[in-house]
Structures are given as structure tokens and as C-alpha cells.
Amino acid sequence: MGRKKSQIPGLFITLEGIEGSGKSTQISHLAQVLIQAGHRILQTREPGGTATAEAIRHILLTASSHEPVAPQTEALLILAARCQHVTHRILPALQQGAVVLCDRFSDSTFAYQGFARGLDLQWLRAANDIATGGLTPDLTLVLDLPVSIGLARRRSDRGEQNRLDRETERFHRKVRRGFLALAAEEPGRMRIVNANRPAQEVQDELTEIVVGWIARQRRRR
């Protein structure tokens, strides 16, 4: 790890957003479009993506309320999972020239553990750098919609809620504000896409952005 991005031939794209923003459906569709266009794709997710990281995800999402997970424990578990994921899947795929499509990455940590849980952002960024070896996404799409709509969608999509879904609406509003603040800081890398409309319209816009962006990157390299 710790390699300069310019030395890595692949392209690293992440999708971010609050609960119920439709990321998982959209990322699968994007993967299909890109595979059909002849790109080598790794579609993956966080926390997770390797056996060890998926085991950590299970702990994070199902931990019993009898032993509340401290915010620092939560952050460190997420970063441990990320380190496994970057080391064993993301970086090898990028080194082989693949387009990596990842459902959540570092921006989720800054939004959830930083803006919403209140952990210090500088500390989180430094710890995240250790976990990723400095690897950052090349393009990040933030699917944005009001929290009340996202949470209602999530509840109707799947009956069972995980530990983070059960957080208060106020918590999720801080997550949303976090994503919007991060996007405002890095408009070159992060693009906000309005997810409060029919899935087909969101899909069309995402496809247009990603296909055009990949073509420009490939011409440059």
C-alpha cells in the first residue's frame, strides 16, 4: 500500500449516501452497464468485501445493545475491515487495471463516525490513511435525498433493521449534512446526485456521469 495513484492503472469509483438512497441497486446496474461496455469490474461493498471484513461487518451491524459499541470501537472495526479490503481486493484489482465500484468507503466513515457520532475528523482522517495506505477514490457519487424519505424506503424495503438503521432520525440528518459538507469541500472528486426521484432517472444520470468520466480518464492515461 502507500502507492501513488498515478502508478495504479485502475479507476476507483465509490457510491455514498444515507440509508435508503438506493446505492446498492444503482451500483449493480452500473456494474452491468460497464461489463457490457467491455470493462473489467470489481463490484464490492463496505464494511465488507473479504471474509474477514464481512465478519467484522456482522459484528458492527448486529452487536447487542447489552454491550454498547463505543464510537471509537466502531471506527476502529470499520477501519480494520477497510484495511483488509484494500489490501486483499481493491488494490490488487486496481493494479490489474479494473474499474472498482465500491458501495461506501472512507466518506461514510467521515459522515457517520465523524459528523454524526462526533469523533474528531482529523483523527479519523489520519487513522483512515493508515487503513488505506493513502488510497482515495477517483470519483465519488453521493446519492442525496431527504432523511425521512430514505428511512421510510429502508423500512419498506426490508423488515429487519440493523444497529445503525435504528439510530435516530437526527443522527441520519447529521450523516446527510456530513456527506453534503464533504462534497462541498471536494467538488472535483465528489458529485451529488438527486436520488429523490424515480430509480430509472437516477440510473440514467449515474450512467451518463460514469461512462463519460471513464472515457475522459482513459483518454488522459
Residues of this chain that interact with ligand TMP (CB under 6 A) are: 19, 46-47, 78, 104, 108-109, 112-113, 164
Query: Do residues 143 and 13 lie in contact, with contact meaning Cβ atoms separated by under 8 Å?
Result: no
Least separation, in Å, of the C-beta of 41 and ligand TMP? Answer: 19
Phi, psi of 5 (to 5 degrees): -60, -35
Least separation, in Å, of the C-beta of 179 and ligand TMP? Answer: 11
- Residue number, 14 or 98, with CB nearest to ligand TMP: 14
Bond from prior residue into 137 cis (ω within 30 degrees of 0): no
Least separation, in Å, of the C-beta of 211 and ligand TMP? Answer: 24
Least separation, in Å, of the C-beta of 165 and ligand TMP? Answer: 6
* Among 14, 5, 210, 10, residue whose Cα is nearest residue 109: 14
Q: Which residue type, as a one-letter code, is found at position 118?
A: G
Least separation, in Å, of the C-beta of 220 and ligand TMP? Answer: 29
SS3 for 128-190, per residue? HHHHHCCCCCCEEEEEECCHHHHHHHHHHHCCCCCCCCCCCHHHHHHHHHHHHHHHHHCCCCE
- Residue number, 113 or 140, with CB nearest to ligand TMP: 113
- Residue number, 26 or 108, with CB nearest to ligand TMP: 108
Query: Do residues 21 and 144 lie in contact, with contact meaning Cβ atoms separated by under 8 Å?
Result: yes
- Residue number, 72 or 96, with CB nearest to ligand TMP: 72
- Residue number, 50 or 109, with CB nearest to ligand TMP: 109
